[in-house]
Structure 1
């Protein structure tokens, strides 16, 4: 059995579908044919029984053909097979059966065997019975036996019989017809099943060819035509969506690599130039003036710092969108995280005034990622604030607002501020990689929130971060 199952599973899908359809139709046709055969047989037998009952002789006709021995309870035929020379289209036989089992055929050319059912009727134990019996020539007969009292107190049984060949011949012909029709039906079902399997799986073949083409050529621009709204159409739509997403992801990856290479080229070029100047000074023995040497070393340090920040930003963006790849997601006090971020940013703009109005609010996030995002927003405000300017930070019911009083962002540049490596033309000279706000948008989206930048009233820029709240963690119980 297991070998058959393994061989079946090893067949192509269309062959399995055609085989299943053929098997199902074969079973259905076989059940229908067998049921039809039994129904027709019962109908023919019932019809034959009715004919036997309708052709039973009258008591006078029976009495004229036999001699009754009342004392012995026997019936003797007055003549032996009186109709032997007369044609009988139905080959009917009528015989009288006594209670002791003796029989006397009064019509027909064959004698029918006497069964217990006939004797039971002759004894008066039952009124009539239908059964099959063998004739003297070995042929099967259908027998109808009924009770008949030819002498007061002395019951007899009369059996009327006709050959079962009347039924069997018809059933044999019917069986041949059903077998032929069933065979044609099974062959037709097999051909139809194979056609249906090929037609139904043609879209799957196209999908398979498309997948093989993509795997062979890595051409993600291939699309499968979608027809209808069935499961195959949905599968085709899913494949098209998948290839479109992969193509978009690959384009973004290539763009990220290109942008990262472009951003890395500038500090690396500057580093190379400064290091070559220092190396040439050592090789030629011509010393660089102390002020110039100090400026070169400061530039090298600044470029190395910029490279470190850029690499850190790239590592942050390379993480999967799911939070499982980073730190553990937990309930955080957003007001405490914001307060810590403000203290870090004060070191970058000590001449600025940073005010904070932070109402308690708890969120679910990764602590390092959330703090980095808030630091990036504050650092962006500090970077564009004028000397001795003011940065206002408020947190109210999950809405964190950071407002600076700098030059602001032009309206046509606002849609691009969260793009990777995008930097305003007016900020090209300022330090940064153009990834800070991209990291902010990515982190906030992972937390289920949203972020937006807009021009503030009276000048400057206002950044708003909205984060959904989380259940307040229970207070820690002090250890005894």
Structure 2
């Protein structure tokens, strides 16, 4: 990368904006100044060319008189203006061989090959107006034309040249160039100052945003909010920053709450496990054996507590994964009826004394297969846990509505608003195994699949879990192989 570009990028944003503004104004002023200068030059030259054209002698001349004039360079009737010595114009006659006869003025016009060529052509046409010089090297404006003879005579090989000095005109143009240069410089300086002021005013909200970000980075205070004014890009950026800090604050609060809840839930099984292990260790140290029945019950308690601890850790891992991503994993087309059947087979193993009835109609959804199956298993485990011995569990899937109905004691109406909160357990269920995270994980998984879940009292007693996930009775034709089929 060129060094000037690197240097420019290292400048503060307001300095770059000011410089770019000044450069844009400088370019515009330079273009306008150049155009103005050329327009004025063209106008002045048009006026000089008009005056030069008026000095050309257009009346027919007698050939004899013309020849005598060439011999002594005196011509009373050729033309009258040429004899005025006070006139600023140069005038001369030029033959095809370059011989010159000065008629008036203070010097001789430099003859070019184009002038001699015009004299030889004898066409009677005017030559183009051009810039030229006199014998002293001074700039003049020149026009060349044939001398007209009386009717019946051919065009002679003689042309008349008239010139006007350009000293005053060029002085005027030089003064105009200096004036435009001064105005351009003042405009560029003014544009730079205005650009710097505009940049400071326009970037003030960005400065506020920068200060807020630096404050958050320094203090980790996510309660900072930036006032939002208007609907421009800065306002959108401010709203986005406020939304981001609010989301980060909520995420940090959820993490802190998750850690606190997890610590609280882990404390009970760890305390019980430690007590049982200490009893076993003390028995070994003191040599006083524990009665076989008590030892068997103690080992069963240790095993149950370890199982409960492992389940709690697994639920925490699953929940933390959802909390970290806030988005589902890879969504595939899955057969919900097959997933429900697989979960139902696992539930039968956990409740062999229960009666399961199932009516599963085909339904295909987009979801993360493993998470969706875990969610359905959790719902069925909840039904198994609260069903009385010998009870029945009804599972129905129809048009995307998966219902799991048990015939247990049901959920009190006061507890229904809290069933999907993390670690929440009703007073009647606190003596049963579980972490209080199952339904929270179910709700998160179903929502990420685009559906919803609800728990409602069932007619005749018990609880009905209703899961609704949008999908279709047949897989999409362009979908990859259906998972769970």
Contact 2:138 2:165 (8 Å CA) reproduced: yes
Distance 1:112 1:256, change over 3 A: same
| Residue 448 (str. 1) matches residue 450 (str. 2) | yes
- 1:307, distance to aligned residue in structure 2 (A): 0.8
Q: TM-score, normalised by structure 1?
A: 0.88
| Residue 68 (str. 1) matches residue 66 (str. 2) | yes
Q: Corresponding residue for 1:78?
A: 74
Contact 2:147 2:155 (8 Å CA) reproduced: no
Give the alignment partner of residue 382 of structure 1, picking from 367, 381, 384.
Answer: 384
Q: Corresponding residue for 1:355?
A: 357
- Where in structure 2 are the equivalents of 1:420-435 lying within 5 Å? 420-435=422-437
- 1:314, distance to aligned residue in structure 2 (A): 0.7
Contact 1:67 1:77 (8 Å CA) reproduced: no
Distance 1:334 1:278 in 2: 48
Q: Corresponding residue for 1:44?
A: 44
| Residue 103 (str. 1) matches residue 100 (str. 2) | yes
Contact 2:403 2:464 (8 Å CA) reproduced: yes
Give the alignment partner of residue 203 of structure 1, picking from 182, 202, 205.
Answer: 205
1:20-46 C-alpha deviation (Å, 9 max, x unpaired):
222222122112111111121111111
Q: Corresponding residue for 2:5?
A: 5
Distance 2:415 2:62 in 1: 125
Secondary structure of the 1:347 match is helix
Contact 1:142 1:163 (8 Å CA) reproduced: yes
- Where in structure 2 are the equivalents of 1:81-230 lying within 5 Å? 88=86, 91-123=88-120, 124-129=122-127, 130-150=129-149, 152-153=153-154, 155=156, 156-230=158-232
Q: Which ranges in structure 1 are unaligned for 5 or more consecutive residues?
A: none
Count of residue correspondences: 471
Distance 2:58 2:148 in 1: 11
- 1:270, distance to aligned residue in structure 2 (A): 1.7
Distance 1:412 1:372 in 2: 27
Contact 2:335 2:362 (8 Å CA) reproduced: yes
Q: TM-score, normalised by structure 2?
A: 0.87
Distance 1:322 1:364, change over 3 A: farther
- 1:331, distance to aligned residue in structure 2 (A): 4.3
1:202-259 C-alpha deviation (Å, 9 max, x unpaired):
2222222222221221111111222222222212211111111111111000000000
Contact 2:337 2:361 (8 Å CA) reproduced: yes
Distance 1:325 1:194, change over 3 A: closer
Secondary structure of the 2:194 match is helix
| Residue 269 (str. 1) matches residue 266 (str. 2) | no
- 1:121, distance to aligned residue in structure 2 (A): 4.0
Contact 1:323 1:366 (8 Å CA) reproduced: no
Distance 2:332 2:89 in 1: 99
Q: Which ranges in structure 2 are unaligned for 5 or more consecutive residues?
A: none
| Residue 242 (str. 1) matches residue 244 (str. 2) | yes
Contact 2:124 2:155 (8 Å CA) reproduced: no
- 1:311, distance to aligned residue in structure 2 (A): 0.7
Please, which moves more after superposition, 434-443 or 381-390? Answer: 381-390
Distance 1:21 1:342, change over 3 A: same
1:21-75 C-alpha deviation (Å, 9 max, x unpaired):
2222212211211111112111111111001112334648x889x95337xx945
Please, which moves more after superposition, 17-26 or 259-268? Answer: 17-26
Distance 1:131 1:348, change over 3 A: closer
Q: Corresponding residue for 1:251?
A: 253
| Larger RCO, structures 1/2 (Cα 8 Å, 6+ apart) | 2
Instruction: Please report the RMSD computed on the Cα atoms of aligned residues, expressed in angstroms.
Output: 3.2
